[in-house]
A and B are shown apart, each in its own frame.
Chain A
Amino acid sequence: MSSNSTQEEEEEEDAGVCINEALTDDELRSILARVETEKDKETFGLVCKRWLRLQSTERKKLAARAGPHMLRKMADRFTRLVELDLAQSISRSFYPGVTDSDLSVIANGFTCLRILNLHNCKGITDVGMKVIGEGLSLLQSLDVSYCRKLTDKGLSAVAKGCCDLRILHLTGCRFVTDSILEALSNNCRNLEELVLQGCTSITDNGLISLASGCQRIKILDINKCSNVSDVGVSSICKACSSSLKTLKLLDCYKVGDEAILSLAKFCDNLETLIIGGCRDVSDSAMKLLATACRNNLKNLRMDWCLNISDSSLSCILSQCRNLEVLDIGCCGEVTDTAFLLISNEEPGLSLKILKVSNCPKITVVGIGILLGKCSYLEYLDVRSCPHITKAGLDEAGFHFPDCCKINFNGSINEPAVLL
């Protein structure tokens, strides 16, 4: 008995000593993969050199503020990084910020990188973009919003080098022209998401170019690209007919019915549409759109569409039962009748957010009718509606859902949707 237990004890002791040698890298990686918090992963790396190596090469994502020295170290250590977030903001910034030579370190060091966020890194230039294009051939997502110095030259280099690019954010890159759209069309066939908000030099020609090569676009944001018109937008609708889910045309005042009809004809998967400020859009076009996209439309912003009246609004609300967010601010022709004409079939409306600010013809009566058909309302914006006041609503005794907030005079924070 005693000799057995000694033997067992010996075995257990040996087992204790040999374990780290016996567990292979794969087994340790499997354990590391199930370590959840940042802090515990850090602990893992501090245990010994071998565990540090495993932890470093396991790390897929990094968010940091780091100058070239730190970046170089990170590149040496985290060789298999997939996502790097260096976005700058009020709370996260440092002097002198991310520079072109930092991008050099990144391009040479993080060769597996797929996602790079350089939002607001104002110091970078075309030189840095060229290096990215040469070094990061696996890049799929790039955000250079507000990197104001960038031009077509640098960005085309990215398009040519990063052929698998799927997501590109160029908000505020005001020097960008149609030429980048051509480069994307020629090189980045898998493009799914393109944000060009504020790139005011973009024209219809650019969009037509884009449409010829990039036919899988899901999200296109050309808010404030005021030079585009129906021709360009229609070409995108046709080319990306099955994929297009989000189209943002804020203040593209040259866009009118023809574009809406193209959407209706080609894009029945549309979920989000922003045409605020497209003042030529008419009732008849919107009715066709509502019918075509009735299954999937969730978010619709059409403030300042001055020609919109009750007939198309009631059609939209009747047909698009999955609509959750609607903004018809400043659509001055709309009256209570629009709500009256909503058909009474089941199911009820899915509407959660409704903005009718500055619609002087809507009164508490209309709101009352709407409430009867829609039980999910969370936010109602009735600023500058002289016939809708707190007193008026209280007097009418309507029953609002419990969590519903009503904005009478701007004192409530707006929900972020549709901005």
Chain B
Amino acid sequence: MAEEKSQASSSKMLTLKASDGVLFEVELNIAKEMKTVQAYIDDCEDIETIPIPNVLGKHLAIVIEYIKKTNEEYDAEFEKQWNMDDLQLLLLAANYLNISGLQECLCKAIAKRIENKSPEYVRKVFNIENDHSPEEEAKLRKEYKWAFEGVDKD
């Protein structure tokens, strides 16, 4: 509870409606961390329920929890709980809602999971089809090798 952000002077509550209809009641200052929501509020002051059409209830819950609890320790542990699919969906949510701290945290997490892996692994995890022809791919690997061999790394 101590980690939750302190209430604004008015304890105004707001309702966020996820894409699958799930409703979340949040304090105004929590909602304001999502710059998209902030813009919405700025435009129509009286609003009480804000639709979030791009984000599932499951992910919106995670995002709200992040905003309430974020600090260095929390962030470090945060990303470990989610699989790759969830991480990507959370990144989409963070981008749509425009929450820079969460965006940063998630990008780092995804980049870390690519660390030291092969292209085949990355394709599998992101569900990407390899559209390099085998000749192209061989050429790319060879080019890299010749040009940069024996040269200091960046």
Contact = CB atoms under 8 A, between A and B. Distances in A.
Given A17-B127, A40-B114, A45-B140, A65 B132 contact: no
Contacts of B129: 48
B57 to A, nearest CB: 12
B128 A47 contact: yes
Residue of A44, A45, A48 contacting most chain B CB atoms (<10 Å) = A48
A417 interface: no
Interface stretch (A31-39, A250-258, A383-391): A31-39
A43 B119 contact: yes
Contacts of B123: 47-48
B131 interface: yes
B122 A43 contact: yes
B108 interface: yes
A19 B143 contact: no
18 contacts: A20-B128, A23-B88, A27-B92, A31-B114, A34-B107, A34-B112, A35-B111, A36-B111, A43-B118, A46-B140, A47-B119, A47-B123, A48-B123, A48-B130, A64-B147, A91-B150, A92-B150, A92-B151
A419 interface: no
Contacts of A62: 154
B128 A48 contact: yes
A275 to B, nearest CB: 34
Contact of B132 (A32, A37, A52): A52
Interface stretch (A66-74, A299-307, A404-412): A66-74
B135 interface: no
Category for how many chain A residues contact B:
35 or more
Interface of B: 56, 85, 88-89, 91-92, 95, 103, 107-108, 110-112, 114-119, 122-123, 126-132, 137, 140-141, 143-144, 146-148, 150-154
Interface of A: 11-12, 15-17, 19-20, 22-23, 26-27, 30-40, 42-49, 51-52, 61-66, 70, 73-74, 91-92
Contacts of B122: 43-44, 47
B135 to A, nearest CB: 13
A88 to B, nearest CB: 11
The majority secondary structure among interface residues of chain B is: helix
Contacts of B114: 31, 35, 40, 43-44
B151 A63 contact: yes
A48 B132 contact: yes
A35 B108 CA distance: 8
Given A20-B127, A70-B147, A74-B147, A40 B107 contact: no
Contact of B144 (A15, A19, A33, A42): A42
Contacts of A49: 131-132
A39 B146 CA distance: 14
A42 B114 CA distance: 11
Contacts of A63: 148, 151-154
A48 B127 CA distance: 11
A15 B89 contact: yes
Q: Which 9 A-B pairs have the closest CB atoms?
A: A34-B111, A46-B119, A64-B147, A30-B107, A19-B88, A35-B111, A20-B128, A47-B119, A16-B127
Contacts of A32: 111
Contacts of A27: 91-92, 95, 107
A70 B132 contact: no
Nearest to B129: A48
Nearest to B139: A73
Contacts of B88: 15, 19, 22-23
Contacts of B144: 42
A48 B130 CA distance: 5
Nearest to A38: B153
Nearest to A86: B151
